[in-house]
Amino acid sequence: MLLNINCILIVDFVFEHSIFARMKPIKEILEQNLFTKEEIIQLLQSKGEQRTLLLKKSQQVKNNVVGNKVYFRGLIEFSNICSKDCLYCGIRKSNTNVFRYNANDAEILDACNFAWKNRFASVVLQSGEISSPAFVKRVDNLLKKIKQLSNSELGITLSCGEQTRETYRRWFESGAHRFLLRIESSNPDLYYKVHPKNKKHSFEKRMEALQFLKETGYQVGTGVMVGLPFQEFEDLANDLLFFKEIDIDMCGTGPYIEHEDTPLYEYRNLLKTKQERFDLTLNMIAVLRLLMPDINIAAATALQAIDPAGREKALVVGANIIMPNLTPCDYRKEYQLYEDKPCLDEDAELCRNCLEARIELAGSEIGYDLWGDSKHFFNRKK
């Protein structure tokens, strides 16, 4: 038996060291333009001095390719009414502890007018996922009114979930030109660990919707949660390769933060610490910037829920989009997809002033009066 154990130990030692011998130094990997999945995993796992090299490289690539400007997207969370029951989300349909709201048109247009007058140049209309004819018509009318009040100067991003090809086309023709539809995980097995497995939450339908958006002509964005229960480094590496494969124009990726009124909260004991999730998210942003140098990357608000300077740190290492919250303060506490969401009591003016100071401290410049469209979108159109 002793001989067998020794043999096993020797085999394990040789196997581990053969893998180690095949691993390139981080410095060498960072000199490449293309990366294997194994190299991406190595970058995502980097810590200490190796991580410093990664983050410095991504900052350099960001500044060289998309520049040092940060573009505002005034975020208006106009409704938390949702038909979906995603297992991680605080506004899921089955959560009866949420007060449901639907901001009226005047409130939404006031927020858009603030964005226009303050030279934000773009807004994001975000809501729960609804696809009723009344909802589709309402969004369509809002798009036309926003274009009218701003003399067509406000750029418009939508984040309103899965819709039909016809709906996407209708909204595009009425003025929306960017759309964010997060996949949350490109691994179908993991997708169904954080979504119910039924027709309402179909991975295939999500993929189809992303294709509809691209075919319609939108600048298309997606993203994932980092640090989910059951998520492996390989999943995150595959997510990054998925972004490149479907050729996205923009990305919104942030750390998973649990919410006690969700089924996924039961698995909180499987989670990395919040700091680990934060650090890993920055690594994801950095590697994505290397993998797709000319796309737009948002500094997710969820980063600030973990670190007060979270969004600024994301801007330094690769992000170039930030979303000041213009949602009327009375509604903000009811649009909590996760716990500890920041800026719930800051009005739009205070939020703008705060972000201006933060962005300056991060060494960046705000691109006022500029849509800041994805360079990648125009490059792939060529």
CB of 325 closer than 8 Å to CB of 374: no
Q: Round to whole Å and give the CA distance between 101 and 79.
A: 6
Beta pairing class for 69-72 and 155-159: unpaired
Which regions of the chain are under pLDDT 50? 1-21
What are the structural domains of the chain? 43-381 (3.20.20.70)
What pLDDT is attached to residue 361? 76
Instruction: Give Cα 63 to chain centroid, integer Å.
Output: 20
Integer angstrom CA distances of residue 226 from 219, 231, 236, 256, 278: 23, 8, 8, 5, 8
Q: Round to whole Å and give the CA distance between 107 and 84.
A: 25
Phi (first) and psi of residue 82, to 5 degrees: -140, 145
What pLDDT is attached to residue 277? 98
Beta pairing class for 219-222 and 178-180: parallel
What pLDDT is attached to residue 349? 73
What pLDDT is attached to residue 350? 67
What pLDDT is attached to residue 6? 47
Give the model confidence (pLDDT) of 6-22 as tens digits: 443 444 444 344 444 46
Beta pairing class for 74-79 and 69-72: unpaired
What pLDDT is attached to residue 338? 85
The sign of the dihedral angle between the CA atoms of 83, 88, 91, 97 is: positive
What pLDDT is attached to residue 3? 39
* HSE-CB of 280 using CA atoms within 13 angstroms: 24
What pLDDT is attached to residue 359? 85
